[in-house]
Structure 1
Amino acid sequence: MMEKRVKAALVSVISNTFLVTAKLVVGFLIGSVSVISEGIHSANDLLASFIALFAVKSASKPPDEKHNFGHGKIENISGTIEGLLIFIAACLIIKEAIEKILHGGEPLALGWGIGVMGLSALVNLLVSSYLMRVAKATHSIALEADAIHLRTDVYTSAGVFAGLLLIHFTGWTMLDPIAAILVAMLIIRAAFELTSKAFVPLIDTALSEDEVSEIKAIIENYSDKFVEYHDLRTRRSGREKHIDFHLVAHSDSSIQEVHDLCDSIEDHIMREIPHSHVLIHCEPVCCCEGEEACQAADLTRSHA
């Protein structure tokens, strides 16, 4: 059965292929720079969708000898590239719009442009909502980036749709390149937000404050079975979340008891924090209270 993330990425590729063709054909036929700019934007979306498809397929691979912690960061790289592509698309749109303002030109057969923009907004609204649901369910940054990408297209298509309607009723053709420039401004904003969100985890940032608070609450739920914990560290790699900390066990606890305690804490964290990998280093209160406590000091438990 096809993996849920891969299926969602394929839906994005198919929908963007259709919209690129429709927008560019109609845009050139009616001579509308705002529709052509939307075609360029959708071509950018299509490339981004292919990148997202590659990313989710690659990120799903299990750890190997060269990638002991898996391939999760491929999704972050994908999101960063998508953000840069969006920015490039915005620059191309502005260039086309300025040339239209300087050299003039009048779009024809506005009905076709209005129709394709309305259809584009509707299709991308449905697809982006679907992608975001799958992204949240699977914790996929690549699909979330693609969803944000397409949601931007919803707003920009709706903007061009409104601009063409105004031209139809007012006859003021200058609204076409103005609408295109406004589209580009929205795209640049989306590019900045997306790039920031995707790039930051590449430098091993911690999990969110809410997630860290939840991890602490889970550990403290077992506080009657250990002395203390310290050196809690977290980092994100794509959808994968790595968590490690030191647990100070009672010196009279057996290795089996400490082992079972670690299992319980790890299982609990992994249930509440999906796609997490937990590493616990156990320490005794001191090593002068028996050989068994000293052995516990060297016990390191790891689960994925």
Structure 2
Amino acid sequence: MLPIILNLCLGVFKYICGSISGLASISADAANNLSDAVTSLMTVLGVKAASTLGGTRHKNGHGRIEWLVGIVVSISIILVGWESLHDSVFAIKNPSEPKFNLFILLVMVVSIGIKLFLFFFNTKKSKENNSSAYKAAAADCISDAVSTAVVTVSFLVDSLMHLHIDGWCGLLVSLFIIRNGLKSFTEISRRVLGEVADDSLSERLKSYVLAYDREMIDEVVDLQLLDYGYERYGAFLTVRTKCNADKGRFLLLIADLKSDIYKEFGYVATIEPEVPASLSEQSRIKDIVCRKIKEINEKLIITDSTRINEGAHRLQVVLYIAIPFKYSKQERKIYQEAQKKLEGESFSYTIKLIVDRSLYPRIFFA
């Protein structure tokens, strides 16, 4: 509520200052503050909506609403910057002759202080809630503080020295505002599109699982954290045991592990257990798979992420194939060819294609 009230007050006072001075940069700054009041209201409402628990249609909560709010806030920043840019160009073509006014100077200096205060306020909220919306609002505040400082300098120079730099300063401010809006929009868009979770979160979970039972758990692979927003994550991982492990006990261990992951991290975990095939069986399957894949294209590489596991009735192959970047558009064709080549074999399989940009640094067998 506090950012909304402060931005409304700043917008009204700056509008009065802009009317008194006739400077386009101050009027644009006033419009910016009034739009900030609206975006602050949207941020508060968005975060409150994001904090609500899941229902029948959205069982993982409504955390991603604040991403949408963050995008709207970012777009509003860009639009305000664009409007300010238009006004600044007009001011360059039609310079005004302002007179020094202590009231205007006082309003601008106080405005800078308030914007810095709101920057720290929103930054703190962003860290407390891991909120993209508050982060976007903080970026907006620091850009406003810088732009108001430039506008203040412009006012002093124009009113005391009559150099007519108001329009040019407004132009720089506008470009700065647009840049911050685009940066914020890009960061939030990455999360919406599906950004990999922070490495520290993944490593902490992986270390926890590996230490859970060192006699039974040999490896953790295909670990993914799906971000549902508002610090809600779903954990997806595959846990492999040792070749000679007790399979029944291993499955019971997985059930306990799911519960303990939720207690420790708050993640709803989906865990796929895997029991590796014997070394002799792995060697036999490797030869078959390698020959079949090479028949499709010599450039295809089977990576060391490939796994061969026991199943209830037949062996299971999780096959990772690295595709050179220049063949990435042929992904569907390569996938279908691999299916045809492996049909009728004595094992089941899952094919996962990877676009390899680094000339295959990790090779399982070639």
Q: TM-score range by the shorter chain?
A: 0.7 to 0.9
Q: What is the percentage of aligned positions where both structures have the same residue?
A: 20
| In 2: Cα distance, 1:87 partner to 1:253 partner | 58
Q: Answer yes or no: is the 8 Å Cα contact 2:100–2:160 preserved in 1.
A: no
- Segments of 4+ moved more than 6 angstroms: none
How big is the alpha-carbon RMSD for the aligned residues of Structure 1 and Structure 2? 2.1
- SS, match of residue 253 in structure 1: helix
Equivalent in the alignment of 2:99: 108
Of residues 239, 244, 263, the one that matches 1:247 is 239
Partner of 1:66: 57
| Structure-2 residue corresponding to 1:88 | 79
> Which residue pairs with 2:181 in the alignment?
191
| Matching of residue 98 in structure 1 with residue 89 in structure 2 | yes
Q: 1:96 to 1:110 in 2, by over 3 A?
A: farther
- For 2:222, the aligned partner's letter is D
Q: State how 1:274-285 maps to structure 2 within 5 Å.
A: 277-283=267-273, 285=275
In the other structure, the counterpart of 2:295 is none
Q: Write the mapping of 1:38-187 to structure 2, written as runs, cut at 5 A.
A: 38-172=29-163, 174-187=164-177
Q: Does the alignment pair 1:264 with 2:260?
A: yes
| CA distance in 2: counterparts of 1:234 and 1:282, whole angstroms | 14
Report the more deviating stretch, 52-61 or 204-213.
204-213
Deviation of 1:155 after TM superposition, in Å, equals 1.1
Residue type at the aligned position of 1:198: I
Q: Does 1:203 align with 2:199?
A: no
- Alignment TM-score, normalising by the size of structure 1: 0.82
Structure 1 residues 237 and 159 mapped into 2: Cα distance closer, same or farther (>3 Å)?
farther
- Tell me the residue number matched to 2:207: 217
Query: How far off its partner does 1:201 sit?
Result: 1.4
Checking the alignment, whether the CA contact within 8 Å between 2:77 and 2:181 is kept in structure 1 is yes
Q: Contact 2:254/2:273 (CA < 8 Å) preserved in 1?
A: no
Superposed displacement of residue 52, structure 1: 0.5
Give 1:179's aligned amino acid.
C
Q: Which secondary structure does the structure 2 equivalent of 1:283 belong to? A: strand
Which moved further from structure 2: 127-136 or 200-209? 200-209
Unmatched runs of 5 consecutive residues or more in structure 1: 1-9, 271-275, 289-304
1:204–1:237 CA contact under 8 A, matched in 2: no
Quickly say closer, same or farther: Cα 1:92–1:78, change in 2 above 3 A: same
**Alpha-carbon separation, structure 1, partners of 2:101 and 2:210:** 64
Q: 2:3 aligns with which of 1, 12, 18?
A: 12
Q: Which has the higher contact order (CA 8 A, sep 6+)?
A: 1
From the superposition, tell whether residues 280 and 25 of structure 1 become closer, same or farther in structure 2 (CA, over 3 Å): same
Larger radius of gyration: 2
Q: Once the 2 structures are TM-superposed, how far is the Cα of residue 284 of structure 1 from its aligned partner?
A: 5.4
Among 25, 46, 55, the alignment partner of 1:34 is 25
Letter in 1 for 2:149: A
The alignment's TM-score, normalised by the length of structure 2, stands at 0.69
In 2, the alpha carbon distance for the partners of 1:28 and 1:214 equals 57
> Deviation of residue 137 (structure 1)?
1.4
Is 2:7–2:34's contact at 8 Å kept on the other side of the alignment? yes
